[in-house]
């Protein structure tokens, strides 16, 4: 890794009676074959998944329309790993904003195409646009997840720049300690714009085997290689990195337009929290896969913002 000190960059998922039915419905999803053939996204109008989506929607809240085109293409390099291990429904989920402690230093995240290519002003002059959106999505995921009954909360380092990665307040430090306690750590990111970015998808934590939450998010957003760029600093410390999409085009425009901003954030958050809720109920699956076996990709070539490289 080129830089070691910077750039770190309740039980009750568903109302009781529904869960048995849901479990049966879920038995058929997320097979190995599906994982390798870009399955339909959760929440689409496919018969079967629509039923699940409806069943998992928060009570008294109509889920926003999920626009599959919103987040753009899935990662152009994809992994073959499968998250087999089931996750207890009471598992604490900790959601972080990527680059929350790395502003004005290496690994600050992508400025986005609007700022970098088209001369727009940053959303907030104290931070890269990626962090601005990462934080809003993080908080919306937590709110949405709590409505579903997930044991989910946000973490924020409380200051925008922490040069020492070993500082106990950094995302990395908190992730390392909490993941060893069994928490699921999810860090929200937007990828660099093209041609530097790769697209949407999940890079799972690599200090453990991929689990059903990783699997469900990968089904919904796409699947990066498990050892993307040789294994990033975050995943080594127990962070599963979710790239929402490249920060450009329709996705960035929808975020920046005040008329569509809130709906866009909510749509993304809904898709994430629904994936987590579905993953909680996916049964375990036997695996012969060995650690490090699947999804190794060459170190890649992103000279621009290296948003996730430390």
- Interface with Zn ion by CB under 5 A: which residues? 98, 109, 189, 307
* Closest CB 307 distance from Zn ion, rounded Å: 3
* Closest CB 199 distance from Zn ion, rounded Å: 13
| Helix, strand, coil percentages for the chain (3-state, nearest 5) | 35, 10, 55
- Distance, CA of 165 to CA of 143 (rounded, Å): 28
* Closest CB 237 distance from Zn ion, rounded Å: 15
> Which residues are CB-neighbours of 82 under 8 A, at least 6 positions away?
30, 32, 35, 210, 215, 285, 287, 289, 294
For Zn ion, the closer of residues 42 and 95 by Cβ is 95
For Zn ion, the closer of residues 176 and 189 by Cβ is 189
For Zn ion, the closer of residues 133 and 149 by Cβ is 133
For Zn ion, the closer of residues 109 and 245 by Cβ is 109
For residue 14, give both structure tokens.
Answer: 């568903």
* Closest CB 28 distance from Zn ion, rounded Å: 34
- Distance, CA of 302 to CA of 309 (rounded, Å): 9
- Distance, CA of 105 to CA of 190 (rounded, Å): 18
Going by the DSSP 8-state scheme, the letter that residue 116 receives in this structure is H
* Closest CB 133 distance from Zn ion, rounded Å: 10
For Zn ion, the closer of residues 109 and 222 by Cβ is 109
Q: Looking up tokens 């958050």, which residue turns up?
A: 269
Which residue, 279, 227, 238, 239, is CA-closest to 85? 279
């Amino acid at each position: 890794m080129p830089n070691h000190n910077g750039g770190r960059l309740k039980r009750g998922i568903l109302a009781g009676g529904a869960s048995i039915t849901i479990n049966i419905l879920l038995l058929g999803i997320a097979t190995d074959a599906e994982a390798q053939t870009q399955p339909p996204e959760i929440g689409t109008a496919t018969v079967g998944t629509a039923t699940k989506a409806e069943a998992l929607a928060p009570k008294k809240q109509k889920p926003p329309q999920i626009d599959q085109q919103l987040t753009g293409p899935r990662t152009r390099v994809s992994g073959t790993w499968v998250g087999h291990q089931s996750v207890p429904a009471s598992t604490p989920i900790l959601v972080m904003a990527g680059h929350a402690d790395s502003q004005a230093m290496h690994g600050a995240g992508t400025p986005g195409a609007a700022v970098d290519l088209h001369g727009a002003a940053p959303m907030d002059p104290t931070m890269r646009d990626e962090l601005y959106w990462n934080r809003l999505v993080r908080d919306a995921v937590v709110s949405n997840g709590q409505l579903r009954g997930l044991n989910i909360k946000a973490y924020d380092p409380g200051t925008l720049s922490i040069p020492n990665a070993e500082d106990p307040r950094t995302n990395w430090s908190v992730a390392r300690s909490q993941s060893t306690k069994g928490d699921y750590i999810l860090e929200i990111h937007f990828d660099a714009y093209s041609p530097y970015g790769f697209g949407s998808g999940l890079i799972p934590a690599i200090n453990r085997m991929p689990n059903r939450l990783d699997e469900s998010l990968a089904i919904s957003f796409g699947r990066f290689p498990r050892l993307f760029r040789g294994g990033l600093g975050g995943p080594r410390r127990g962070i599963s990195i979710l790239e929402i999409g490249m920060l450009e085009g329709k996705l960035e425009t929808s975020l920046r337009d005040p008329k569509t901003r809130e709906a866009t954030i909510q749509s993304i958050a809904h898709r994430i929290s629904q994936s987590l809720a579905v993953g909680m109920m996916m049964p375990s699956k036997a695996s012969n896969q060995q650690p490090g076996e699947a999804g190794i990709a060459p170190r890649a070539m992103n000279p621009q913002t290296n948003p996730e490289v430390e």
